[in-house]
Amino acid sequence: MSTFAIAPEAISTSTSDAVAREVREGLTATPKTLSPWLFYDEAGSYLFEEITELPEYYLTRTERGIFEAHADEILQTAALGQGPAGKLTLIELGAGTATKTGILLAAAVRQQGSVVYQPVDVSETALAEASENILNNIPGVTVRCQVTDYTREALPLNRLPNTRTLALYIGSSIGNFTPDGAREVLRNLRAQLLPGDTLLLGTDLAPFAGAGAPKTEAMLLAAYDDAAGTTAAFNMNVLTRLNRDLGADFETDNFRHKVLWNPTESRIEMHLESLVEQTVQFPAFGGTDAFTVEFAQGETIHTENSYKFTPAAVEALLASANFKATKSWRDPQHFFAVTLATAL
Protein backbone atom coordinates (compact mmCIF):
# COMPACT_ATOMS: atom_id res chain seq x y z
CA MET A 1 0.00 0.00 0.00
CA SER A 2 1.22 3.51 -0.68
CA THR A 3 0.40 6.54 1.37
CA PHE A 4 0.97 10.21 0.70
CA ALA A 5 1.64 12.49 3.62
CA ILE A 6 3.14 15.96 3.61
CA ALA A 7 3.83 17.27 7.10
CA PRO A 8 2.10 20.70 7.23
CA GLU A 9 4.84 22.23 9.37
CA ALA A 10 7.44 21.40 6.73
CA ILE A 11 5.63 23.19 3.92
CA SER A 12 6.65 26.60 5.27
CA THR A 13 10.27 25.98 4.25
CA SER A 14 9.72 26.85 0.62
CA THR A 15 7.37 29.77 1.22
CA SER A 16 7.93 33.32 0.18
CA ASP A 17 9.74 34.47 3.34
CA ALA A 18 12.52 31.98 2.69
CA VAL A 19 12.54 33.02 -0.97
CA ALA A 20 12.74 36.72 0.00
CA ARG A 21 15.69 36.18 2.33
CA GLU A 22 17.66 34.10 -0.16
CA VAL A 23 16.97 36.46 -3.02
CA ARG A 24 17.98 39.61 -1.18
CA GLU A 25 21.20 37.96 -0.02
CA GLY A 26 22.04 36.62 -3.48
CA LEU A 27 21.16 39.66 -5.56
CA THR A 28 22.90 42.18 -3.33
CA ALA A 29 26.12 40.12 -3.39
CA THR A 30 28.90 40.48 -5.95
CA PRO A 31 28.73 38.58 -8.24
CA LYS A 32 24.95 38.19 -8.14
CA THR A 33 23.66 34.68 -7.48
CA LEU A 34 20.40 32.82 -6.94
CA SER A 35 20.19 29.37 -5.31
CA PRO A 36 19.16 26.58 -7.69
CA TRP A 37 16.36 25.37 -5.38
CA LEU A 38 14.50 28.55 -6.39
CA PHE A 39 13.98 27.05 -9.88
CA TYR A 40 11.53 24.49 -8.56
CA ASP A 41 8.14 26.13 -8.28
CA GLU A 42 5.33 24.28 -10.08
CA ALA A 43 6.32 25.59 -13.52
CA GLY A 44 10.03 24.94 -12.85
CA SER A 45 9.39 21.35 -11.77
CA TYR A 46 7.33 20.81 -14.92
CA LEU A 47 10.07 22.31 -17.11
CA PHE A 48 12.71 20.15 -15.41
CA GLU A 49 10.68 17.05 -16.34
CA GLU A 50 10.71 18.25 -19.96
CA ILE A 51 14.48 18.75 -19.77
CA THR A 52 14.96 15.13 -18.69
CA GLU A 53 13.35 14.02 -21.99
CA LEU A 54 15.45 16.24 -24.26
CA PRO A 55 17.80 14.53 -26.72
CA GLU A 56 20.66 16.78 -25.55
CA TYR A 57 20.16 16.05 -21.84
CA TYR A 58 22.09 12.77 -21.62
CA LEU A 59 22.22 12.73 -17.80
CA THR A 60 18.78 11.32 -16.94
CA ARG A 61 18.66 8.61 -19.59
CA THR A 62 22.25 7.57 -18.81
CA GLU A 63 21.59 7.23 -15.09
CA ARG A 64 18.32 5.42 -15.86
CA GLY A 65 20.27 2.98 -18.04
CA ILE A 66 22.64 2.25 -15.14
CA PHE A 67 19.67 1.57 -12.86
CA GLU A 68 18.00 -0.66 -15.46
CA ALA A 69 21.19 -2.70 -15.82
CA HIS A 70 22.19 -2.89 -12.15
CA ALA A 71 19.24 -2.14 -9.82
CA ASP A 72 19.15 -5.63 -8.28
CA GLU A 73 22.89 -5.66 -7.67
CA ILE A 74 22.77 -2.15 -6.20
CA LEU A 75 20.03 -3.11 -3.76
CA GLN A 76 21.72 -6.40 -2.88
CA THR A 77 25.03 -4.65 -2.23
CA ALA A 78 23.31 -2.04 -0.05
CA ALA A 79 21.62 -4.80 1.97
CA LEU A 80 24.83 -6.77 2.56
CA GLY A 81 25.58 -7.18 6.24
CA GLN A 82 22.06 -6.24 7.31
CA GLY A 83 21.27 -9.81 8.44
CA PRO A 84 18.46 -12.06 7.20
CA ALA A 85 15.70 -10.02 8.87
CA GLY A 86 17.24 -6.70 7.93
CA LYS A 87 15.36 -4.55 5.44
CA LEU A 88 16.26 -1.33 3.72
CA THR A 89 14.21 1.84 4.05
CA LEU A 90 14.82 4.27 1.20
CA ILE A 91 15.00 8.04 1.62
CA GLU A 92 15.68 10.35 -1.32
CA LEU A 93 17.03 13.89 -1.29
CA GLY A 94 15.59 16.06 -4.08
CA ALA A 95 13.42 13.22 -5.39
CA GLY A 96 11.45 15.31 -7.89
CA THR A 97 8.90 13.06 -9.60
CA ALA A 98 11.03 10.00 -8.72
CA THR A 99 10.59 8.53 -12.19
CA LYS A 100 13.99 6.79 -12.24
CA THR A 101 13.72 5.88 -8.59
CA GLY A 102 10.86 3.53 -9.49
CA ILE A 103 13.46 1.15 -10.96
CA LEU A 104 15.25 0.97 -7.59
CA LEU A 105 11.98 0.68 -5.66
CA ALA A 106 10.85 -2.23 -7.83
CA ALA A 107 14.19 -3.95 -7.13
CA ALA A 108 13.74 -3.33 -3.39
CA VAL A 109 10.28 -4.92 -3.52
CA ARG A 110 11.71 -7.93 -5.41
CA GLN A 111 14.40 -8.28 -2.77
CA GLN A 112 12.48 -7.76 0.45
CA GLY A 113 8.76 -8.00 -0.42
CA SER A 114 7.90 -4.41 0.49
CA VAL A 115 9.69 -1.13 1.09
CA VAL A 116 9.14 2.21 2.82
CA TYR A 117 10.18 5.13 0.60
CA GLN A 118 10.58 8.69 1.93
CA PRO A 119 11.09 11.21 -0.86
CA VAL A 120 12.14 14.73 0.19
CA ASP A 121 11.83 17.76 -2.08
CA VAL A 122 11.09 21.51 -1.99
CA SER A 123 8.53 20.99 -4.76
CA GLU A 124 5.16 19.82 -3.47
CA THR A 125 3.81 19.31 -7.00
CA ALA A 126 6.73 17.08 -7.96
CA LEU A 127 6.23 14.97 -4.84
CA ALA A 128 2.49 14.65 -5.51
CA GLU A 129 3.31 13.29 -8.98
CA ALA A 130 5.98 10.97 -7.54
CA SER A 131 3.51 9.54 -5.06
CA GLU A 132 0.79 9.01 -7.65
CA ASN A 133 3.16 7.31 -10.11
CA ILE A 134 4.53 4.94 -7.50
CA LEU A 135 1.09 4.21 -6.08
CA ASN A 136 -0.21 3.32 -9.54
CA ASN A 137 2.78 1.32 -10.74
CA ILE A 138 4.73 -0.36 -7.95
CA PRO A 139 2.73 -2.43 -5.45
CA GLY A 140 4.55 -3.01 -2.17
CA VAL A 141 5.86 0.52 -1.71
CA THR A 142 4.74 2.72 1.19
CA VAL A 143 5.43 6.36 0.27
CA ARG A 144 5.93 9.09 2.86
CA CYS A 145 6.58 12.39 1.07
CA GLN A 146 8.08 15.36 2.87
CA VAL A 147 8.32 18.93 1.55
CA THR A 148 11.63 19.95 3.11
CA ASP A 149 14.76 21.87 2.15
CA TYR A 150 17.41 19.26 2.88
CA THR A 151 20.12 21.93 3.19
CA ARG A 152 18.39 23.56 6.13
CA GLU A 153 16.24 20.97 7.85
CA ALA A 154 16.52 17.51 9.34
CA LEU A 155 15.47 14.63 7.14
CA PRO A 156 12.33 12.70 8.07
CA LEU A 157 14.11 9.46 8.89
CA ASN A 158 11.51 7.08 10.27
CA ARG A 159 13.55 4.24 11.62
CA LEU A 160 11.72 0.93 11.81
CA PRO A 161 13.04 -2.05 13.79
CA ASN A 162 15.49 -4.22 11.82
CA THR A 163 15.89 -1.70 9.04
CA ARG A 164 18.82 0.18 7.60
CA THR A 165 18.55 3.36 5.60
CA LEU A 166 19.63 3.61 1.99
CA ALA A 167 19.79 7.33 1.14
CA LEU A 168 19.43 8.15 -2.55
CA TYR A 169 21.04 11.32 -3.82
CA ILE A 170 20.87 10.87 -7.57
CA GLY A 171 20.27 12.94 -10.70
CA SER A 172 23.62 14.75 -10.35
CA SER A 173 22.06 17.03 -7.70
CA ILE A 174 25.29 17.04 -5.68
CA GLY A 175 26.86 18.78 -8.69
CA ASN A 176 24.80 21.90 -7.98
CA PHE A 177 26.93 22.61 -4.91
CA THR A 178 30.44 24.06 -4.70
CA PRO A 179 32.98 21.58 -3.28
CA ASP A 180 32.54 23.09 0.21
CA GLY A 181 28.75 23.07 -0.12
CA ALA A 182 28.72 19.47 -1.36
CA ARG A 183 30.83 18.38 1.60
CA GLU A 184 28.46 20.13 3.97
CA VAL A 185 25.36 18.50 2.43
CA LEU A 186 26.96 15.05 2.69
CA ARG A 187 28.23 15.69 6.23
CA ASN A 188 24.72 16.75 7.30
CA LEU A 189 23.34 13.61 5.72
CA ARG A 190 26.01 11.45 7.36
CA ALA A 191 25.21 12.97 10.76
CA GLN A 192 21.64 11.73 10.41
CA LEU A 193 22.59 8.19 9.39
CA LEU A 194 23.91 5.30 11.47
CA PRO A 195 27.14 3.44 10.76
CA GLY A 196 26.33 0.75 8.17
CA ASP A 197 23.61 2.81 6.49
CA THR A 198 24.33 3.49 2.83
CA LEU A 199 24.24 6.30 0.30
CA LEU A 200 23.74 5.97 -3.46
CA LEU A 201 25.24 9.03 -5.14
CA GLY A 202 24.70 9.90 -8.82
CA THR A 203 27.43 12.06 -10.37
CA ASP A 204 28.02 13.32 -13.87
CA LEU A 205 31.58 12.52 -14.91
CA ALA A 206 34.17 15.02 -16.11
CA PRO A 207 34.86 14.94 -19.87
CA PHE A 208 38.28 13.35 -19.54
CA ALA A 209 36.94 10.48 -17.42
CA GLY A 210 35.51 8.67 -20.45
CA ALA A 211 36.99 5.45 -21.74
CA GLY A 212 34.53 5.16 -24.62
CA ALA A 213 33.35 8.00 -26.82
CA PRO A 214 34.65 11.14 -25.15
CA LYS A 215 32.29 13.60 -23.58
CA THR A 216 32.99 16.84 -25.42
CA GLU A 217 32.57 20.43 -24.32
CA ALA A 218 29.98 20.89 -27.11
CA MET A 219 27.96 17.98 -25.71
CA LEU A 220 28.08 19.48 -22.22
CA LEU A 221 27.02 22.91 -23.42
CA ALA A 222 24.15 21.49 -25.49
CA ALA A 223 22.83 19.58 -22.47
CA TYR A 224 22.23 22.93 -20.73
CA ASP A 225 21.35 24.99 -23.82
CA ASP A 226 19.09 22.78 -25.93
CA ALA A 227 17.79 23.62 -29.37
CA ALA A 228 14.14 23.71 -28.23
CA GLY A 229 14.93 26.37 -25.60
CA THR A 230 13.52 24.33 -22.71
CA THR A 231 16.53 24.88 -20.42
CA ALA A 232 16.46 28.59 -21.28
CA ALA A 233 12.78 28.69 -20.25
CA PHE A 234 13.65 26.81 -17.03
CA ASN A 235 16.37 29.35 -16.20
CA MET A 236 14.22 32.38 -17.09
CA ASN A 237 11.30 31.02 -15.05
CA VAL A 238 13.09 31.96 -11.85
CA LEU A 239 12.56 35.65 -12.71
CA THR A 240 8.85 35.04 -13.33
CA ARG A 241 8.72 33.30 -9.96
CA LEU A 242 10.31 36.29 -8.21
CA ASN A 243 7.83 38.65 -9.88
CA ARG A 244 4.91 36.48 -8.76
CA ASP A 245 6.09 35.47 -5.26
CA LEU A 246 7.84 38.69 -4.20
CA GLY A 247 6.25 41.37 -6.39
CA ALA A 248 9.55 42.13 -8.16
CA ASP A 249 9.41 43.86 -11.56
CA PHE A 250 11.88 41.93 -13.71
CA GLU A 251 11.35 42.57 -17.44
CA THR A 252 12.18 39.07 -18.57
CA ASP A 253 12.82 40.25 -22.15
CA ASN A 254 15.78 42.21 -20.77
CA PHE A 255 17.62 39.00 -19.79
CA ARG A 256 18.96 36.03 -21.69
CA HIS A 257 19.96 32.47 -20.80
CA LYS A 258 23.74 32.03 -20.86
CA VAL A 259 25.71 28.80 -20.42
CA LEU A 260 29.45 28.31 -20.14
CA TRP A 261 31.89 25.53 -19.36
CA ASN A 262 34.38 26.48 -16.65
CA PRO A 263 37.27 24.03 -17.10
CA THR A 264 39.18 25.30 -14.06
CA GLU A 265 36.29 24.43 -11.76
CA SER A 266 35.13 21.47 -13.90
CA ARG A 267 31.59 22.83 -14.01
CA ILE A 268 28.85 24.03 -16.31
CA GLU A 269 27.56 27.42 -15.22
CA MET A 270 24.11 28.79 -16.00
CA HIS A 271 23.59 32.53 -15.84
CA LEU A 272 20.91 35.10 -16.66
CA GLU A 273 22.59 37.95 -18.49
CA SER A 274 21.20 41.47 -18.35
CA LEU A 275 20.89 42.77 -21.92
CA VAL A 276 20.62 46.41 -20.80
CA GLU A 277 21.54 48.63 -17.88
CA GLN A 278 18.49 48.37 -15.62
CA THR A 279 17.09 48.58 -12.09
CA VAL A 280 14.77 45.97 -10.59
CA GLN A 281 12.54 46.84 -7.63
CA PHE A 282 11.58 44.48 -4.82
CA PRO A 283 8.83 45.77 -2.48
CA ALA A 284 8.96 45.07 1.28
CA PHE A 285 8.06 41.43 1.88
CA GLY A 286 7.42 39.64 5.20
CA GLY A 287 10.43 40.49 7.34
CA THR A 288 12.47 41.77 4.36
CA ASP A 289 12.67 45.53 3.58
CA ALA A 290 12.12 46.87 0.07
CA PHE A 291 15.30 46.92 -2.02
CA THR A 292 16.48 47.61 -5.54
CA VAL A 293 18.99 45.74 -7.66
CA GLU A 294 21.07 47.55 -10.30
CA PHE A 295 22.31 45.67 -13.34
CA ALA A 296 25.00 46.82 -15.75
CA GLN A 297 24.61 45.72 -19.37
CA GLY A 298 26.21 42.27 -19.68
CA GLU A 299 26.17 41.62 -15.92
CA THR A 300 24.85 38.20 -14.96
CA ILE A 301 22.99 36.42 -12.18
CA HIS A 302 24.75 33.10 -11.62
CA THR A 303 21.83 30.71 -11.22
CA GLU A 304 23.32 27.19 -11.32
CA ASN A 305 26.51 25.18 -11.29
CA SER A 306 26.72 21.61 -12.46
CA TYR A 307 30.05 20.12 -11.40
CA LYS A 308 31.52 17.22 -13.37
CA PHE A 309 33.56 14.78 -11.28
CA THR A 310 36.45 12.43 -11.79
CA PRO A 311 35.91 9.05 -10.11
CA ALA A 312 38.72 9.95 -7.66
CA ALA A 313 36.97 13.22 -6.78
CA VAL A 314 33.75 11.32 -6.00
CA GLU A 315 35.62 9.00 -3.62
CA ALA A 316 37.43 11.92 -1.98
CA LEU A 317 34.19 13.85 -1.51
CA LEU A 318 32.53 10.82 0.09
CA ALA A 319 35.53 10.21 2.34
CA SER A 320 35.49 13.85 3.47
CA ALA A 321 31.96 13.28 4.77
CA ASN A 322 32.84 9.99 6.51
CA PHE A 323 31.46 7.65 3.85
CA LYS A 324 33.45 4.84 2.24
CA ALA A 325 32.76 4.24 -1.44
CA THR A 326 32.13 0.50 -1.79
CA LYS A 327 31.10 0.03 -5.41
CA SER A 328 30.53 2.17 -8.47
CA TRP A 329 28.56 1.52 -11.65
CA ARG A 330 28.95 3.43 -14.92
CA ASP A 331 27.39 3.44 -18.36
CA PRO A 332 29.47 1.91 -21.19
CA GLN A 333 30.63 5.37 -22.32
CA HIS A 334 31.59 6.42 -18.78
CA PHE A 335 29.45 9.55 -18.92
CA PHE A 336 27.86 9.05 -15.51
CA ALA A 337 28.63 7.18 -12.27
CA VAL A 338 26.39 5.81 -9.55
CA THR A 339 28.40 5.12 -6.40
CA LEU A 340 27.31 3.17 -3.34
CA ALA A 341 28.98 4.28 -0.12
CA THR A 342 28.74 3.07 3.46
CA ALA A 343 28.41 5.42 6.44
CA LEU A 344 31.46 4.82 8.67
CB 28 within 8 A of CB 293: yes
Q: How far is the CB of 344 from ligand SAM (least distance, A)?
A: 25
Cis peptide before 31 (omega within 30 of 0): yes
Nearer to ligand SAM, 26 or 94 (CB): 94
Q: How far is the CB of 94 from ligand SAM (least distance, A)?
A: 3
Beta carbons within 10 angstroms of residue 19's beta carbon: 22
Q: How far is the CB of 301 from ligand SAM (least distance, A)?
A: 17
When CB distances to ligand SAM are compared, the closest residue is: 171
- In angstroms, rounded to a whole number, what is the distance separating the alpha carbons of residues 192 and 188? 7
Q: Does 222 bind ligand SAM (CB under 6 A)?
A: no
Q: How far is the CB of 43 from ligand SAM (least distance, A)?
A: 12
Q: Which stretch binds ligand SAM (CB under 6 A): 21-29, 44-52, 73-81, 221-229?
A: 44-52
Q: Does 57 bind ligand SAM (CB under 6 A)?
A: no
∠ CA 327-329-335, rounded to 5°: 135
In the chain the beta strands, taken as DSSP E runs, fall at 32-33, 87-93, 115-121, 141-143, 146-147, 163-169, 198-204, 255-262, 267-274, 278-282, 291-295, 300-307, 323-330, 336-343
Q: Does 129 bind ligand SAM (CB under 6 A)?
A: no
Strand, helix or coil at 9?
helix
Q: How far is the CB of 160 from ligand SAM (least distance, A)?
A: 23
What backbone phi and psi angles, to 5 degrees, belong to 272?
A: -115, 115
Q: Does 40 bind ligand SAM (CB under 6 A)?
A: yes
CB 104 within 8 A of CB 69: no
In 23-137 the beta strands, taken as DSSP E runs, fall at 32-33, 87-93, 115-121
Q: Does 331 bind ligand SAM (CB under 6 A)?
A: no
Which residues inside 96-125 make contact with ligand SAM, applying CB under 6 A? 96, 100, 120-123
Helix (H) or strand (E) holding 181: helix 179-192
Q: How far is the CB of 48 from ligand SAM (least distance, A)?
A: 6
Q: Does 224 bind ligand SAM (CB under 6 A)?
A: no
Which residues inside 138-197 make contact with ligand SAM, applying CB under 6 A? 149-151, 170-171, 173
What residue ranges bind ligand SAM (CB under 6 A)?
A: 37, 40, 45, 48, 52, 60, 94-96, 100, 120-123, 126, 149-151, 170-171, 173
